[in-house]
Amino acid sequence: MIEGEFAVPSLGALADEVATVLAGRHDPGVVVFERLLNAVVSHSFRDREALTAALGTVPRQFKVKPHAQVRCLAVIVGEAAGPVRAEESWEKSGAGWLELCPHVALGYIAGARTGEVAARLRAGDHVPFLLSVPSGPTGAVEPYELVERLAEYERLGIRPGPADLGQALLRCGGRMDPEVVRAAEDLKSAEGIRLAAWLRQGGLPHPAWQREREAGEAERPSRRLGARIGRRILVGHQAIEGRGAFPRQFWSLFRVFEPHISCPHWSLPDYRDAHTVATLPWHPEIAAARLLTGVASAADQDGNGSPAFLEALASTDGPAGPAVHLAVAYGLASVPKPDREAAVRALVVLASRGRLDGELLGRELTELVELGTLRVPLLTESLRAAVAVPVPEGAAAVWAVLATALPGLLARTRPQLHGALLAVAADSARLSGARGELPEVTALAQRPGSSQLLKQARRLRDALAGA
């Protein structure tokens, strides 16, 4: 039932790969983690004793704290290799769950699924595969594959785990083929009836968004290390209908999300990675909005970066709106270099897939620079790198952004700061074949003088004129 890059490896290959991932301690990536998680479940269904023997010798102790996904895999392996406790009901997994932080709603969903898998392994309640195994690296599940998987569960008389089914449903989205919907309507189980209704409605509804700017004006620089100077722009969303059909651990996703709400998210594990985006691959806006404060901290507080998260947002097929574009904006001026490099790749990927809104990103960059949140030299460095990417989308993407950003930056901030940015704009306009006129640039180019700012303004003016 599961083919391609997520196909179940042989038992020996599974043990070797699990040992490698646990020894490496680093994020194995979405494909590897999901394949190994499903493979443990599948081999447990086929031959639990053989699986226990193969995984029982894999070391699961860590001298250095590993990535969250590695710790999770270690727990799953421990349950698969441990004794079966049939007296324990796997259906009570997560009963003591407590919602602490709205920012990590997708983390609660991922935790509910892996907790359910662990509990089912511990109880010896076997399933042939997970319903939520992705069909591709973004985490998305093809609707026709989910219909086939549920049909096999029905044939075997196996009840799906609520969290596994819930995760699978959230991973279904996009255009729904009428033939697939009709196939789902032929299923007889309560879960099959639910899947058919889910496909008919097009998956999880997209919530209404609100963009919010932190109150107050940009502050004077503080001598206190790490103090923020600027103001952030964040995104919230309205409530989403339908939470009652999902386990309680999923409910945080459906609640109204207020971007400035106080919470202890800084004390919780960091969920800014590709796995979080893969939890809800058709809704990158929700992932970006929920974790935007963490992304912003890398730009205005020298915080920890999130390069895998930025690239994953750009690689999904879901709509890229204000939250995704803000995440890229913060990333382009982040202090950690890996974040800036990831934001450049995200910018180019969005452009190459027709998902970049250059005007939107240009407006956000302009306002964030005005607010003192983004540092112009870092932003300029990133955009220069994007222009140098050896694909036409790089230069075109940068020009699409700067065509909107430059007029505001030149009019509302000190133009003297933007000589290097004008040079990047001139290069991007020339390489992308842009034509037209920016009155603010033309006015600047007509001033007398030979400063770098004026030279670059003239270069940009001439490039736009085709000279």
What the block records as the tokens of 48 is 């639990």
Does the CA dihedral 250-289-342-396 come out positive or negative?
A: positive
Q: Is 224 helix (H, G, I), strand (E, B) or coil?
A: coil
Nearest Cα neighbor of 299 from 337, 260, 272 is: 337
Read off the pLDDT of residues 25-53 as tens digits, 9 standing for 90 and up.
889 999 999 999 999 999 999 999 999 99
What the block records as the tokens of 280 is 């809800």
Query: What gap in Å lies between CA 381 and CA 344, rounded to an integer?
Result: 10
Q: Where are the domains of the chain?
A: 1-83
Read off the pLDDT of residues 83-129 as tens digits, 9 standing for 90 and up.
888 777 767 766 666 777 888 899 999 999 999 999 999 999 999 99
Q: What is the percent of the chain with per-residue pLDDT over 90, rounded to a whole number?
A: 66
Asked if residue 397 lies in contact with residue 351, where contact means CB atoms within 8 angstroms, the answer is: yes
pTM: 0.92
Q: Which amino acid is at 26?
A: H
Q: Taking all residues of the chain, what is their mean pLDDT, rounded to a whole number?
A: 90
Read off the pLDDT of residues 355-410 as tens digits, 9 standing for 90 and up.
999 999 999 999 999 888 899 999 999 999 999 998 888 999 999 999 999 999 88
